[in-house]
Amino acid sequence: MSHPAFKCLILLLVGGWANGVWGQLSKIDSLHRLLHQEPAADTNRVNRLVLLAYRHYQSYPDSTLLYAQQALNLARKLDFRAGEGRAVNRLAVGHSVKGDFSQAVKLYLESLKIAEELGDLEGVARVLNNVGYIYRLLKQYDRSFEYTYRATAYGRRLNNPAALAVNFTNLGWLHSISGNVDSSLYYGLQGVRVADAVGDLYHASISRHIAGKAYAKQGRDSLAMQYYQAALGNAKAAAIKQQIAFNLVGIGEVLNQQGKPNQALEPLAQAVVLAKEAKAAEPLQDALKALQNAQERLGNYQQALAHHKQYDLIKDSLFVLERANYISLLQVEYDTEKQQQLIALREKDLRNQRLVTYALAGVGVAVALLAMVMFWGRRAARRANQLQLQKNAEINQQKEEIQAQAEQLNQSNLFKDQLFTIIAHDLRSPLAMLKNTLELLDGERLTDQEMAVFKTHLTEQYQHVDGVLTKLLEWAQYQMDNRLHRAHPVSFALHQVAEEALGLLRALAKIKNISLHNHLDGQIKVLADQDQTAAIVRNLVANAIRFTPAGGQVHLEAAPHNGSWRVAVRDTGVGIASEQMKRLFTLDGHFSTKDTNGNKGTGLGLLLCKDLVTQNGGEIWAESQPNQGSTFYFTLPKSAVA
């Protein structure tokens, strides 16, 4: 850890961004003056401390931590819960900028809890987006996608364009890193549109950079250069050195791509200087890599080697820091989960104690009532008939209640039997196969080739078991929690919800080289529960990918149908036999079909889809023939809103 390059990198990551420091001084001074104005309400003082902490985070993260801690102490003293949540959030921002990601996530989760407690949906969305950003820095892209998509959903529901500018920018960046050029271009252009509308130069610059990078990967150099130049203008106007460096790198890469390495040297050299000034490791890495490429094209191999060595030193040191931060983050997640389990156990104990207390009290009340009945019964024999009638009515009522409870018990037993049937058919067999495979490995010395075959086999079996469990738990949750059955219909564009659902599945499709096509018109609007609609699309498209051979296609289409929109998920897969078609959407058919890897399907995803479609006033059905693909249809009501 004593290597000079590593120390340099620590300074880059921990020192914070110094962009626009002098431009912010007047704002910070004015906030200082506001803090000391008299008289001022204490809650207003908390809010001003929070704002002052935010003003410092890019240039002086230590000051951010100082002011945020003062705000937190005062908010707790005043029992000002909303101010406490904002102060904790700013503490998380300060730790994030300083590179202490595990502490940042811990504080963000505390802030999230307060925001949910207060019903502060904007605060919830902001925390989800920030946690997604940290996971992106740690290269945990699946987790980053999860949090960022959740934040985007809140941004849409709240119709908050400022938040959506951030969300679209982050999604564009994630898709760019994941190699999804079309999706990165889509979200980049969406980010440009919304950021321009709200005057957000920072995210306008990043979104234009994302679009420029996508155009460059498509070989559309002129458009790439146009967007990089515009992004550079935004970054300079906002005085953000890190983004200036990023866009200078983009311009240099396009010039390299056009065969103009001589012209690329100047912007790339400027990018190196600015990245070092901004203490930004990411654009510095990119600039050194592009400089190496330019020098190699010019035949200056000694200079190219020098740039390559600098690049490798930063990359290796950054990897060590990322691993250390990720390990710390795993510990935070483990501690948080453990704490939640302890809280749940304590709550359970308290509930049990209350139940015992209520039971004892009930026995006492029952004994007292019995004594009163006996006493008054002896003195009021003349009311015996009336009491007998009343007693008969009570007995009938109890009988009805017992019958209702018996019916509920029968339903529970039926549900239990269904679960055990699925577990017996769909989990015992693959688990037995896993056991047999592991036994084959016991005590054997295998070649690398044999080990690779076993690894592939074990991975496929694990993925199948994991998929069955996921579907089983999701279906069981919908069956057991009646609240989830209640749809909350709103008017929304079907294309966008479908695109986000497809975005979560493109990586899975890419493994099998299956292309996903969203043909839904942007003008199609439905009146349905947005989250439930996304779940329907995800399940049907995931099934299509699973049962379609490598190199196949999945298409998403829509057409008018009896006053509704009929959505079709069409694939080029293995198809379904006619006798199996009759058992779709029922538990009788849950173990009938095999996918392209030979694994049996559960059909639980289709059961879930049927439940959700029905809750939204629609219908679901399928058409298929063996070896000729399948088409699954479902309908949703048209929206009256244009």
Point out which residues pair with 553 in neighbouring strands: 515
- Kindly report, residue by residue over 126-176, the tens digit of the pLDDT: 888 888 888 887 778 888 888 888 888 888 888 999 889 889 999 998 999
Q: Quick check: is 500 in a domain?
A: yes
> Which of 209-218, 497-506, 520-529, 600-609 has the least mean pLDDT?
600-609
Q: What is the DSSP letter of 120?
A: -
pLDDT for the residue numbered 347: 53
Q: Is the pLDDT of residue 383 over 70?
A: no
pLDDT for the residue numbered 122: 86
State the amino acid at position 90 in one-letter form.
R
Domain-ending residue, one of 292, 313, 334:
313
> Which of 36-45, 211-220, 486-495 has the least mean pLDDT?
36-45
Mean pLDDT of the chain: 77
Do 323 and 101 form a contact (C-beta atoms < 8 A)? no
Q: Is the pLDDT of residue 119 over 60?
A: yes
Higher pLDDT, residue 168 or 434: 168
Read off the pLDDT of each residue in 368-382 and give the average, rounded to a whole number: 59
Read off the pLDDT of each residue in 363-376 and give the average, rounded to a whole number: 58
- Kindly report, residue by residue over 597-623, the tens digit of the pLDDT: 655 566 777 888 888 899 899 999 999
CB atoms within 10 A of CB 96: 23
CATH for 71: 1.25.40.10
Nearest Cα residue to 332 out of 108, 106, 128, 139: 106
Q: Is the pLDDT of residue 52 over 70?
A: yes
Quote the distance between the C-alpha of residue 343 and its chain's center: 25
pLDDT for the residue numbered 556: 96
Q: Is the pLDDT of residue 247 over 70?
A: yes
Do 631 and 624 form a contact (C-beta atoms < 8 A)? yes
Which of the four pLDDT bands, split at 50, 70 and 90, describes residue 518?
very high
Q: Please report where in the chains the tokens 């156990």 appear, as a residue.
A: 345
At residue 542, what are phi and psi to the nearest 5 degrees? -60, -40
pLDDT for the residue numbered 193: 94
Measured distance CA(595)–CA(571) in Å, rounded: 13
**Among 2-6, 283-287, 345-349, the range of highest mean pLDDT:** 283-287
pLDDT for the residue numbered 279: 75
Measured distance CA(91)–CA(72) in Å, rounded: 9
| Structural domain count, the chain | 3
Q: Quick check: is 231 in a domain?
A: no
At residue 81, what are phi and psi to the nearest 5 degrees? -65, -40
pLDDT for the residue numbered 18: 33
Q: Is the pLDDT of residue 393 over 80?
A: no
Higher pLDDT, residue 7 or 248: 248
Do 254 and 214 form a contact (C-beta atoms < 8 A)? no
Domain-ending residue, one of 63, 95, 119:
119
633/493 same-domain check = yes
Residues 6+ apart with CB under 8 A from 528: 487, 489, 490, 492, 616, 617, 618, 636, 637
pLDDT for the residue numbered 1: 41
Read off the pLDDT of each residue in 349-354 and give the average, rounded to a whole number: 58
Q: Is the pLDDT of residue 392 over 60?
A: yes
Do 525 and 641 form a contact (C-beta atoms < 8 A)? yes
Measured distance CA(465)–CA(461) in Å, rounded: 6
Q: Quick check: is 371 in a domain?
A: no
Q: Quick check: is 613 in a domain?
A: yes
Which of the four pLDDT bands, split at 50, 70 and 90, describes residue 9?
very low
Do 604 and 474 form a contact (C-beta atoms < 8 A)? yes
> Which of 271-285, 470-484, 560-574 has the least mean pLDDT?
470-484
pLDDT for the residue numbered 13: 41
Task: Tell me what percent of the residues of the chain surpass a pLDDT of 90.
Answer: 26
pLDDT for the residue numbered 20: 39
pLDDT for the residue numbered 528: 93
- Kindly report, residue by residue over 62-94, the tens digit of the pLDDT: 888 899 899 999 999 999 998 898 899 889 888
Q: Quick check: is 440 in a domain?
A: no
Q: Quick check: is 335 in a domain?
A: no
Which of the four pLDDT bands, split at 50, 70 and 90, describes residue 6?
very low
Higher pLDDT, residue 448 or 250: 250
Which tokens go with 620?
């679901």
Read off the pLDDT of each residue in 358-383 and give the average, rounded to a whole number: 58
Q: What is the DSSP letter of 280?
A: -
490/631 same-domain check = yes
- The residue segments making up the domain with residue 603 are 486-637
Which of the four pLDDT bands, split at 50, 70 and 90, describes residue 548?
very high
Which of the four pLDDT bands, split at 50, 70 and 90, describes residue 463?
low
Measured distance CA(607)–CA(587) in Å, rounded: 8
pLDDT for the residue numbered 10: 38
Higher pLDDT, residue 22 or 422: 422
Q: Quick check: is 53 in a domain?
A: yes
pLDDT for the residue numbered 512: 87
pLDDT for the residue numbered 278: 75
pLDDT for the residue numbered 93: 85
How many angstroms separate the first and last alpha carbons of the chain?
61
Q: Quick check: is 370 in a domain?
A: no
Domain-ending residue, one of 85, 119, 153:
119
